[in-house]
Amino acid sequence: MTNEEIRQAVIDILSDISPEEDLENLDDNTPFRDQLSLDSMDVMDIILELRKRYRVNIPEEDYGKLDTMTNTVAYLEPSLKEM
């Protein structure tokens, strides 16, 4: 997957979890939690969806690295670029 495809994969998950959010105007460098109404259970849901869809396992200590879109794509890139 290219980085653009990874970004779209994350957007797809966000839009499935939270269809009422405005994702078109998401700023990739601003933390998700400052733009979206996501609580800790939603964050866990995103991680579960990544595991379900792309078989990426994200250890709990890394959750904090998924704070912005840019950081999330960078974190996922090594796991997903060969897919």
Interface residues toward other proteins, by CB under 8 A: 16-21, 37, 39, 41-42, 44-45, 47-48, 51-52, 57-60
Name the DSSP letter for residue 65.
Answer: G
Comparison of 2 and 52: residue with beta carbon closer to other proteins: 52
Per-residue b/e over 36-66, b at no fewer than 16 CB within 10 Å? bebeeebbebbbebbeeeeeeebeeeeeeeb
Comparison of 21 and 67: residue with beta carbon closer to other proteins: 21
Minimum CB–partner distance for residue 80 and other proteins (Å)? 18
Minimum CB–partner distance for residue 4 and other proteins (Å)? 25
50 contacts 76 by C-beta, under 8 angstroms: yes
Comparison of 60 and 82: residue with beta carbon closer to other proteins: 60
Minimum CB–partner distance for residue 31 and other proteins (Å)? 16
DSSP states of 68-79? SHHHHHHHHHHH
